[in-house]
Amino acid sequence: MERPPLTVLETDVLIVGAGGAGMSAAIAAAEAGKQVMMTDRSLIGRGGATIMAQMTVAVALGEQEPDDWRFHYADTLAAGRGLCSEPLARLLCEEGVAAIRKMDEWGVGWARADGHLTQAHAPGHDRPRCVYVDFLDTGPAVATTLRTQVAKDKRIRRIGDLLIVDLLLHAGRVVGAVALHLASGQPVLIRAAATIIATGGLTRLYRRNSASVNMGGDGYALALRAGARLIDMEFVQFFPIGHLAPRLVGFDPIMWDPFRYKLGGRLLNGRGEEFVESYGHQAESGGYTVTRDAATYAILKEVEAGRGTPAGGAYLSFRHVPEARLREAFGPIIDRLAANGIDLTQTMIEVAPTAHYHMGGIRVDADMATDVPGLFAAGEAVGGANGANRLSGNAITEALTFGAVAGRSAAALAPQGDGVADDDLPDDVPDMAALTALAEPIVDWLRASAPAGAVPVAEMIVALQDVMQNDVGPFRNEAGLHRAADAIKALRARLGDALPGDTGPQDPVRVDGLDLRNMLMVAEAVVIAATARTESRGAHQRDDHPGMLDEWTVNQTLAWQGGQWTLVVQPVERLPASSIDLAVEAHA
Ligand SMILES: Cc1cc2nc3c(=O)[nH]c(=O)nc-3n(C[C@H](O)[C@H](O)[C@H](O)COP(=O)(O)OP(=O)(O)OC[C@H]3O[C@@H](n4cnc5c(N)ncnc54)[C@H](O)[C@@H]3O)c2cc1C
């Protein structure tokens, strides 16, 4: 049968993933005068974590109380338990101020009171610092605002339904990508002078997660296969109070957090007792001070000790809060809760840790450049800024800030003209004929069909999620990590080399097959890094190696070459102590 001709596209800057980071990158690269192609395996601006975020964005605006980005930076480093890349943390906190102001100018609608932006006090921050859009609308408002800006710029071409399968390398440089167009089932070849990975995190690797199905860590696998290094892969953040019970339809599982900020919901064990102070933290009654890693630890230890709730978590109670205050803080949400049969004056909510964010990711410098020429990364896909534990609200700031930097850096590498003609391109980007030849193996792989049902990929994804949840979750030990490594190897052998499924349009088996290929690779990276780190720090808790060790105040990077992993321990990137004066005055 004759094959349809290969669809071939070209651009100055290719962006993989259209969440907060990808859209910010697109806007910045287009502002620098470049042609941008923004791709997403889902709908543009609707496929990842950004649109799901319901809560807060941390930034030292000094609107609620005097503040300075340096205080935010100090808090970020403290939460990161010694492992933050200081240049990246600085970028997040310092540049975040302008990024959040710009969103305000673009009409995002940050909540205001008495003529200033409202800033909530979240755990780990030394003062009220987190802006938000009421009620639970932060992520949707951020995504809508960016989508509107993107749509205004004719230099940005938006292509949804396009799953980037692999990056193309020529003379050690990334020069484009091969994608699968999901609607048609056809491969697509893209030539690009610069590529930005903005694919978000990996929390779909876990059975209990707050993610969308697009968050299986594709970007990490793309980066690894292109020769880039990953950093801090062992640090997966579990959000301590993900919703567990009673049944709740139409809400995000992490929706309770902003109401804890506002009202000080009480965390109780199955016996109705407050417990975080018995894990060495200050009592929280009516407040909210314990960081995510510490709260996750305390809840799971209570469950392990037989003091959990019936569904296996802890209670979150607002029963001490007067009804009028509940109504004021929850606004219209209170009626939606009532429709789910939840009356907070009577009902306690059961909550438990859920995989939520990844502190690790692609290793970049402060220009968002990876080790591989032509390849940049941004947003949650980047590792290192948040060290071993992320503060509430830092992730949206990270996505917007790192996205803009990556967009500018990629634009600087792209051709000087305003087109993508062969003679405009940097010398090391091949012409289209050479690129097509380069892409042939992966295009052929995508065009071959394997017998349907031969490999139960959907089932295997669930099996992998179980393995990760049980043995590579918030508590780890050597035996469990070895079990996980063996299970991953067995699943990989079972998947084999051929891509399962049909070559027709919208074949879910084919997509699951591509996802599983990436998820196995990324899961293995997490397991290797977690096995090597023989201490407990932040989000990485080892039952067999309790306590944080000075000699482990180092980062681990992972590379994958010729089918082999290379793990390297390296010093944490520090800024000269004199470069940041932490004794500054806070300002409004
Ligand atoms: C439920 C939830 C609530 C959250 N709440 C908050 C909060 O209140 N405050 C905060 O700071 N942070 C919050 N976070 C974290 C924060 O939302 C994310 O870290 C941040 O939005 C990540 O942005 P991003 O642009 O890097 O990635 P994403 O927004 O996840 O976007 C990645 C995009 O890449 C696409 N993609 C993936 N793989 C491919 C591929 N192979 N080809 C093409 N496209 C691909 C996806 O479809 C997706 O659209 C929350 C996260 C979740 C899940």
395 lines ligand 1 (CB under 6 A): yes
Give the type of residue at 469: Q
Q: pLDDT tier at 149 (50, 70, 90 boundaries)?
A: very high
Q: Which residue has the higher pLDDT, 68 or 211?
A: 68
Helix locations, 82-169, DSSP H: 86-105, 138-152
Task: State the pLDDT at residue 428.
Answer: 80
Pocket test for ligand 1, best of 40, 136, 405 (most atoms within 8 A of CB): 40
Fold of 241-353: Flavocytochrome C3; Chain A, domain 1 (3.90.700)
- pLDDT at 452 > cutoff 90: no
- pLDDT at 422 > cutoff 70: no
Which helix (H) or strand (E) is 113 found in, with range?
Answer: strand 112-113
Give the pLDDT confidence of 462-495 residue by residue, as tens digits: 999 999 999 999 999 999 999 999 999 999 999 9
Pocket test for ligand 1, best of 92, 182, 358, 380 (most atoms within 8 A of CB): 380
Two tokens at 390?
């992320």
Count the helices and strands in the chain (H runs, E runs).
14, 21
CA distance 473 to 468: 6
CA distance 232 to 21: 20
Give the pLDDT confidence of 220-269 residue by residue, as tens digits: 999 999 999 999 999 999 999 999 999 998 888 888 988 887 888 999 99
Burial (0-12, 13-18, 19+ Cβ within 10 Å), 14:
buried
| pLDDT-above-70 percentage for the chain | 97
Ligand 1: residue whose CA is nearest its atom 35: 17
Block residue for tokens 């080892």: 542
Bridge partners of 174, per DSSP, are 169
Give the type of residue at 157: R
Task: State the pLDDT at residue 153.
Answer: 97
Does this model's pTM top 0.85? My answer is yes
Ligand 1 centroid to residue 540 C-alpha, Å: 22
Domain boundaries for CATH 1.20.58.100 within the chain: 456-549
DSSP per residue, 114-130: TTEE--B--TT-SS--E
Task: State the pLDDT at residue 1.
Answer: 58
384 φψ region: left (φ > 0), alpha (ψ -120 to 50), beta (else): left
Burial (0-12, 13-18, 19+ Cβ within 10 Å), 493:
exposed
Task: State the pLDDT at residue 364.
Answer: 98
CA distance 317 to 269: 11
Task: State the pLDDT at residue 286.
Answer: 65
Q: Atom of ligand 1 at shortest distance to CA of 200?
A: 27
Ligand 1: residue whose CA is nearest its atom 20: 50
CATH-assigned architecture of domain 456-549: Up-down Bundle (1.20)
Neighbouring residues of 453: CB distance < 8 A, sequence distance ≥ 6? none
Least confident of 160-164, 228-232, 337-341, 578-582: 578-582
Pocket test for ligand 1, best of 42, 129, 199, 213 (most atoms within 8 A of CB): 199
CB 351 within 8 A of CB 241: yes
CA distance 176 to 190: 5
Give the type of residue at 70: R
- C-alpha pair distances (Å), 570 with each of 231, 291, 417, 557: 10, 26, 40, 7
Block residue for tokens 């349907």: 452
Ligand 1 centroid to residue 89 C-alpha, Å: 19
